[in-house]
Amino acid sequence: MAQAPPTAAPEDAPATPEDALAIVEGVPIDTRHWIDGTRVPSASASTFTDHSPMDMDMDMDGAPLARIARGGPGEARAAVVAARTAFPGWAATPPAERARLLHAVADGVDARAEDLAAVETADNGALLRSHRRGVMPRVAHNFRYFADRLLALGHEDFDTRGHTNHVSWDPAGPAVLITPWNAPLMLASWKVAPALAAGSTVVLKPAEWTPLTASLLADITHEAGLPPGVFNLVQGYGEEVGAPLAADPDVCRVSFTGSVPTARRVAGAAAAHLVPCSFELGGKSPLLVLADADLELAADLAVEQYDNAGQVCLAATRILVEEPVRDAFLDRFLDRVSKLTQGDPRDEATDIGPNIHPRHVERVDGFVRRAVEAGAKAVTGGGRNTALGGNYYLPTLLTDVAQDSEIVQEEVFGPVLTLQTFPGGDDDEAVRLANGTRFGLAATLVAGDRDRAARIGARLVAGTVWVNCFFVRDLSAPFGGSRDSGIGREGGDWSFDFYCDLKNTVTAPKGWTRHG
The catalytic residues are 280, 313
Contact in structure between 253 and 235 (CB atoms under 8 Å): no
Q: What gap in Å lies between CA 472 and CA 184, rounded to an integer?
A: 19
Backbone φ, ψ for residue 335 (5° rounding): -60, -40
**DSSP string across 315-376:** ---EEEEEGGGHHHHHHHHHHHHHT--BS-TTSTT-SB---S-HHHHHHHHHHHHHHHHTT-
**Residue 294 identity:** D
Give 19's contacts (C-beta < 8 A, 6+ positions apart).
31, 47, 67, 69
Kindly give the interhelix angle for 212-224 and 184-197, rounded to the nearest 10 degrees: 30
Q: What gap in Å lies between CA 445 and CA 191, rounded to an integer?
A: 28
Beta bridge partners of 105: none
Contact in structure between 202 and 231 (CB atoms under 8 Å): yes
Q: What gap in Å lies between CA 439 and CA 486, rounded to an integer?
A: 9
Give the CA distances from residue 514 to residues 99, 315, 506, in Å, rounded to whole numbers and listed in that order: 36, 62, 19
What is the distance of C-alpha 212 from the center of its chain? 16
Contact in structure between 250 and 220 (CB atoms under 8 Å): no
Kindly give the interhelix angle for 113-124 and 184-197, rounded to the nearest 10 degrees: 130
Q: What gap in Å lies between CA 284 and CA 73, rounded to an integer?
A: 34
Contact in structure between 142 and 157 (CB atoms under 8 Å): no
Give 294's contacts (C-beta < 8 A, 6+ positions apart).
446, 448, 468
